[in-house]
Structure 1
């Protein structure tokens, strides 16, 4: 019964999409071909998800099925807007004609105007835009890596760190990768930045530690800069989205995921902190486990900051940006810069710098992509390195962040 409403809605989409096809082409081969194609896609998607193994979790097959489902549904939603709108107008015309034609001797259905071909043409033309966007996102967009740079000013930044540069990456999701050349390219892009410090803010896998096995050597190629590489865990790193045969198996997977960080030369901070020292001065790097308003709350900010004093300049690694909103930004200890990820920018949206920045995820997360500044405290939400759930990115591209710290006040 829980599938009844989704199935009925899908059938409604198919009905209107077929009406558009039938209005444009009277060729029965075209119409039958469309129906067969739709049935094949739906059958494949149902087969994949009906055989979903909760002991394994998401796979490349489920990603592919998700992509095919979106490719099928999203354009049809556009078609429905046009076709249903036309139906409302047709019914209004039929009703008006019926009420005003006192000499009518037939049935009311005779007053219903035929569908107009140009409306169906417009509907299909507009629907082709998201369809093309989704196709681009699946085949090109998900590996369209962008380097996004920020310069941040702090009055209390230690003098020795004026001009200090940081690379942030987040949300690798190695279990989703399907093109080793693109990942090698992205690692080269990280190395080209030649920053002083590299920080990774969680979700190294989708669920299972073995997802990273084929990528250890690739990510080990990320050069360790003078001041090191540090990381934290994300919500996917706890193995909580699959069914385990035993608690011991779950704990073994969790330990294996933590061990991955050492294998690729990252120092994993588990509710802990460390100091980066330069010319007798220091800044604190604080790493909390995942803390999400709607996700796992393993992060302990107090424990992670035990060795840090209020006067220290602090960089906090916390996977979920809701942590900043609910605990960090108003904290008495003044965390100067928080680095997060998690949202992926929904892997779908529109961003035109200076004009438009929109994604459906903004209705869930107040801070969802890019740099935020409140009360002189900064949060950067990295859009993510990899992808998950949907095998692509549309308008929200994979991100490598470079942040330069400067001493003083921000220029006017």
Structure 2
């Protein structure tokens, strides 16, 4: 019964889409091919969703189905909306005309051809965008640079650069190793002093990273080191495990990945980064999210940290900063997060405008935010998940330069 309502909705959407096609062509073969292809796609998508197996988790196959569903039905839903609005207007117009000339034969006014053409033209926009996102956009890596000024940054750290990546989601990659190698080379070209990864190295299984170990091991070793934390997907909670033993073993294997690619995994702990006689504190917590578990322990991670220390915090989910970190009595100068991916969909004109539906869920969802001198930077993500592409919100490599505020004489 649960699947019946969505199926009825799909059939209504398909009916309206066929009506649009029918108004622009009378060729019986073209209409027949459209019907056969549409029916085959609908049955395949419905069957795939109904038979999704949490015991297997998300695979490249499920990513393909999600992408296919979006690229098929978002355009058709737009066609439906345009033609449905036209039907309402036709009904109102017909009612008015029936009172005027009482001509029953003309009560149902023929569908307007140009409205169908407009509907199909509108539908072409998301179709082409989603297709671009699945073929090119998902690997269209962008380097985004940010310069931040702090009054209390130790002098020796003035000009220190940090490269941040987040949300690798290696289980989503296809077999195009050249694209990932290109991104790794792009990270290395930044030659920053510190390299940080802020969680979600896999979708679920540690084995997802096996084909990519050597690639990510090629990331350079900067002066101040390579550090990482866990994200919500790294705990394997989106999967029906056969036993607690298997789940725990997978989690241990995921933690071991970080050492294999030469990152120091931080589990509610901190490290002092030194330059000359000065030091700053890098803090890494486990995942703390408003909706995805609260394993992060900020107090445990900073037991030996002084309030006056300059602190950089790695915390995967930006809701941690929104609800806790920005209000903490200890001043966390900069928090680095990821998690949102910018929903992998939106509109962004750098420096002028950015929008994504995810902003209605997360107040801090992409880029830099500040409150009372406390900053958070939310990385848009390296990889992709669920929808196998990116539209408008591109995969990101962040480079942040720390600067000491110069005092005016």
What TM-score do you get using the length of structure 1 for normalisation? 0.97
- Which of 357, 364, 368 is equivalent to 1:367? 364
Deviation of 1:101 after TM superposition, in Å, equals 2.3
- Which of 169, 173, 198 is equivalent to 2:169? 173
- Which of 111, 117, 121 is equivalent to 2:113? 117
Partner SS state of residue 329, structure 1: helix
The number of aligned residues is 407
Q: Could you say if the C-alpha distance between residues 410 and 58 of structure 1 is closer, same or farther in structure 2, counting changes exceeding 3 Å?
A: farther
**2:62 alignment counterpart:** 62
Question: Where do residues 254-403 of structure 1 align in structure 2 (5 Å cutoff)?
Answer: 254-403=251-400
Partner SS state of residue 310, structure 1: coil
Whole-angstrom distance in 1 between the partners of 2:16 and 2:179 = 39
Deviation of 1:410 after TM superposition, in Å, equals 10
Whole-angstrom distance in 1 between the partners of 2:358 and 2:297 = 26
Whole-angstrom distance in 1 between the partners of 2:277 and 2:284 = 23
**1:243 alignment counterpart:** 240
**2:124 alignment counterpart:** 128
Partner SS state of residue 386, structure 2: coil
**1:5 alignment counterpart:** 5
Deviation of 1:142 after TM superposition, in Å, equals 0.1
**1:252 alignment counterpart:** 249
What TM-score do you get using the length of structure 2 for normalisation? 0.97
**1:163 alignment counterpart:** 159
Deviation of 1:409 after TM superposition, in Å, equals 5.9
What is the aligned-residue RMSD (CA, Å)? 1.3
Deviation of 1:122 after TM superposition, in Å, equals 1.1
Deviation of 1:100 after TM superposition, in Å, equals 2.0
Any unmatched runs of 5+ in structure 1? none
**1:91 alignment counterpart:** 91
Say whether residues 1:28 and 2:28 are aligned partners.
yes
Question: Where do residues 397-412 of structure 1 align in structure 2 (5 Å cutoff)?
Answer: 397-408=394-405
CA contact (8 A) 1:231 1:266 kept: yes
**1:138 alignment counterpart:** 134
Task: Tell me whether 394-403 or 15-24 shows the greater mean CA deviation.
Answer: 15-24
**1:41 alignment counterpart:** 41
Alignment deviations for residues 98-132 of structure 1 (CA, whole Å, 9 cap, x no partner): 12224x4x46xx31110111111111111101100
Alignment deviations for residues 266-309 of structure 1 (CA, whole Å, 9 cap, x no partner): 00000111110010110101001000011111000110111211
Whole-angstrom distance in 2 between the partners of 1:410 and 1:351 = 35
Deviation of 1:354 after TM superposition, in Å, equals 3.4
Deviation of 1:4 after TM superposition, in Å, equals 2.2
